[in-house]
Structure 1
Amino acid sequence: MPPRLRNAKENDAAAIAALMLPESSSQGGTLHGDFPVEKISHWLAQAAADNMPVLVAEDDAGLLGVLFTSSSQRQEQPLAATMARLHQGRAPFYFYGPVCLAPRARGQGLLASMAQQLHQQLPGYKALLFINAENQASLRAHAKLGMQVEGHFETDGQHCLLLCEP
């Protein structure tokens, strides 16, 4: 049976937190810190308040992946403000990520399916994503989706790339 995509619910927080452990997933962005259930619950509530989707992919064995979106209006975080500045204020856009896929999800086209679902839920919007410049696997995966490097910046001592949908 193929993976199912759906919008995340509050009761998915524990499964998402488990998926986001470094040993449990391939992370599509640059993530720092731990992701306890409380933090995930906060992210889910914030996304719901902003009417932004959080997608999960699952099969009968459990969660295969998660992709968060967040509003471009929420720029109180320095990273979000940097990304918006590099994008030069072109709108409408949303912040894409973090995205995490379980190792067993590889090769199923889940990232492309999630991106397509987001286009349906956020018509007319473009996605902005940052990744560590050294994360070549993520860069290749997002390049396959048509995302292009739009800028370079430093954060937490790391060289990062800003990717944008065309």
Structure 2
Amino acid sequence: MIETRLATLSDAEAIAALLMANAGDRGGMLLGQWPREVIERRIAGGQSIIIATSDEGGLLGALLTSEKGFDAAAPVQAMLKAWPGGPDAYVYGPVCVSADARGLGVLEALYARLQATFPGREAILFIREDNPRSLKAHLRLGMREVARYDFDGKVFIVLSDRPDAG
């Protein structure tokens, strides 16, 4: 069974390990570097991270969020320029599911907890165009493409979960 909850500082090491294992420099699709200190700073700064765990407590996945003014990373700022979202929109991502838990409903469980945590608020995110697996998974959640932008020689697709977006 998949359990979801908000992460605490004691989860930072496991979250960082999952994200770092799937970073672009290790063959994954995640942008950026995610050491434990970055995860701790996000949690301490009030930025919600939803995690999914197994019955045994192992980390199955993590979904990071941030308020629009929190993350100054260039890809995030480029996304917000392409699609700023509504006044109460927040940045969704990155999201990462452990390789051995993919296809088991972890993303759906994370997203359901996210919607319960931020009811009625618009989530906005970007996915690289060359990541069709993630794009397909998010479209299945009901998200819609609302914009595209080029960043660092790559095309990014902006998605929103606002019902009237796009």
What band does the TM-score fall into relative to the shorter chain? 0.7 to 0.9
Report the counterpart of residue 115 of structure 1 in structure 2: 111
Picking from 101, 105, 120, the partner of 1:105 is 101
Q: CA deviation at 1:30?
A: 5.0
- Residue 64 in structure 1 maps to residue 29 in structure 2: no
Aligned length: 157
Picking from 148, 151, 160, the partner of 2:147 is 151
Give RMSD over aligned pairs. Answer: 2.1
Task: Read off the aligned partner of 2:17 and give its amino acid letter.
Answer: A
Tell me the alpha carbon deviations over residues 76-96 of structure 1, each in whole angstroms, 9 at most, x when there is no partner: 444333322322552321100
Task: Read off the aligned partner of 1:164 and give its amino acid letter.
Answer: S
Q: Against the structure 1 CA distance between its residues 38 and 88, is the aligned structure 2 distance closer, same or farther, given a 3 Å change threshold? A: closer
What is the distance in 1 between the residues matched to 2:92 and 2:85? 16
Q: TM-score, normalised by structure 1?
A: 0.84
1:76-91 alignment, distance < 5 Å: 76-91=72-87
Tell me the alpha carbon deviations over residues 30-67 of structure 1, each in whole angstroms, 9 at most, x when there is no partner: 53343221122122222x1xxx4211111115111000
Q: Against the structure 1 CA distance between its residues 23 and 164, is the aligned structure 2 distance closer, same or farther, given a 3 Å change threshold? A: closer
Q: Against the structure 1 CA distance between its residues 12 and 99, is the aligned structure 2 distance closer, same or farther, given a 3 Å change threshold? A: same
Report the identity percentage.
Answer: 36
Query: Aligned to 1:123, what secondary structure does the other structure show?
Result: coil
Unaligned 5+ segments in structure 1 are: none
Q: Against the structure 1 CA distance between its residues 156 and 43, is the aligned structure 2 distance closer, same or farther, given a 3 Å change threshold? A: farther
1:7-18 alignment, distance < 5 Å: 7-18=6-17
Report the counterpart of residue 38 of structure 1 in structure 2: 37
Unaligned 5+ segments in structure 2 are: none
